[in-house]
Amino acid sequence: MTARNTIDDPHTGKRVFVTGGAGYIGTHTLVQLLSERHSVCVFDNYSNSSPQSLERVRRLVNHDFDQVEGDIRDEAKLTRVLGEFNPDIVIHFAGLKSVGEANLFPVKYYEHNVQGTIALLKAMDAAKCKRIVFSSSATVYGAAKYLPYDENHPLAPENAYGRTKYHIEGMLGDWVKAGGDASAVLLRYFNPVGAHESGLIGEDPNDVPNNLMPFISQVAIGRRDVLGIFGNDYDTRDGTGERDYIHVVDLAAAHLAAVGYACAHTGCEAINVGTGTGVTVLEMVAAFEKASGRKVAYRVTGRREGDVATSVADATKALRLLGWTARLGIDEMCASTWKWQSKNPQGYVQRGKAA
């Protein structure tokens, strides 16, 4: 993918349409987009977020942006709003992301994720917008045939959520091929954790957290009694699962780099976003205890179905194509999560209080 587009400076002053911008990764990316003087329109139905998160973004950066409540499955509204905003590029975060829920309600997941993306591409075609950065996931790889996962690793997702990402990736590849000078960057995130250093924005799961880091931080703050560790008999350093955790601020920076790349090149590229280093569950618990000064009670339970021993990225393609590499480590991940959690024990919804 080397052809140049006509867009002048690919890194500054773009009009960026952000679906799902009120969510965890979206808000962190917004902060950086606005700091770099891009013009932004957020399109979100707040099904897994709160408009308060966007108010926090406004408090953090001295720049305003457009904000529209809407569902990506509402093609008519999407087409109208996107057409009026007339973006240079779309960052597509909107979608549902719970693996367990996707296995129970697969059609709902195909509807939001796949059908929502079809509506988005039709709206982009109508507005003649030919560039997109998409939130994919390392889950598209499935069980490791070798480690670390590079982008040429076979794709064999093992759950319905992963299959929605797999189908969207394929669709975006076809859309780019048909579009001539179109461009798509498929960012395959490994395990996003952490929060903005201000403690103003962070991850705010609706219910009992499915993922490790929010669960640990809710135990540390006293919202939950004990962390269940899903198995200590894996073939890893200490027997617990090993993952490639990526700080959400680094992940946001990868989006900025991807926007620049997509504005300067045509074609479709899948790119891993990880650090290339694995951390086990017990290592994460110890790092969180150090960062928070709190004890994290845990109990080893049985393995969780569908879990693998180790998932680690080969992140060299991101460096080669985007000039991006992760800067923040496990201590910053834990310290920023703790700051967010301790400043906002109940997340964004401080019942009875303003955001």
Q: Which residues are catalytic?
A: 161
- For 209-351, strand residue ranges (E) read 227-230, 242-243, 245-247, 267-273, 279-280, 298-301, 310-311
Closer residue to ligand UD1 (CB): 85 or 340:
340
Comparison of 46 and 298: residue with beta carbon closer to ligand NAD: 46
Tell me the C-alpha distance between 143 and 261, whole Å. Answer: 30
The least distance separating ligand UD1 from the CB of residue 119, rounded to whole angstroms, comes to 24
Dihedral of alpha carbons 135, 140, 144, 150, sign:
negative
Position among 13, 154, 170, 228 found at the interface with ligand UD1 (CB under 6 A): 228
| 233 contributes a contact to ligand UD1 by CB under 6 A | no
Nearer to ligand UD1, 41 or 195 (CB): 195
Q: How far apart are CA 183 and CA 179, in angstroms?
A: 8
Identity at 77, one-letter amino acid code: K
Tokens representing 325 are 């590499």
**Residue at 94: amino acid letter:** A
Q: Does 244 bind ligand NAD (CB under 6 A)?
A: no
Q: Is the separation of the CB atoms in 243 and 311 below 8 Å?
A: yes
* CA atoms of 165 and 167, how far apart (whole Å): 6
Please state whether beta strands 242-243 and 279-280 pair in parallel, antiparallel, or not at all (unpaired): antiparallel
The one segment of 5-13, 44-52, 290-298, 344-352 that binds ligand NAD by CB under 6 A: 44-52
Is residue 139 within the footprint of ligand UD1 (CB under 6 A)? Answer: yes
For ligand NAD, give the closer residue by CB, 69 or 84. 69
Residue 304 site contact among ligand NAD, ligand UD1, none (CB < 5 to 8 Å, cut-off depends on kind): ligand UD1
> Which residues, numbered 312-351, are part of the site for ligand UD1 (CB under 6 A)?
none
Q: What is the DSSP string of 173-229?
A: HHHHHHHSS-EEEEEEE-EEE---TTSSS----SSS--SHHHHHHHHHHTSSS-EEE
141 binds ligand UD1 (CB under 6 A): no
Please count the residues of this chain forming the interface with ligand NAD, following the rule CB under 6 A: 26
How many angstroms from the chain centroid is the CA of residue 292?
24
Q: Which stretch binds ligand NAD (CB under 6 A): 23-31, 235-243, 296-304, 322-330?
A: 23-31
Contact 29, 255 (CB under 8 A): yes
Contact residues for ligand NAD, defined by CB under 6 A: 20, 22-26, 44-49, 71-73, 93-97, 112, 116, 135, 137, 189, 192
Contact residues for ligand UD1, defined by CB under 6 A: 99, 137-139, 162, 191, 210-212, 215, 227-230, 241, 243, 281, 304, 306-307, 311
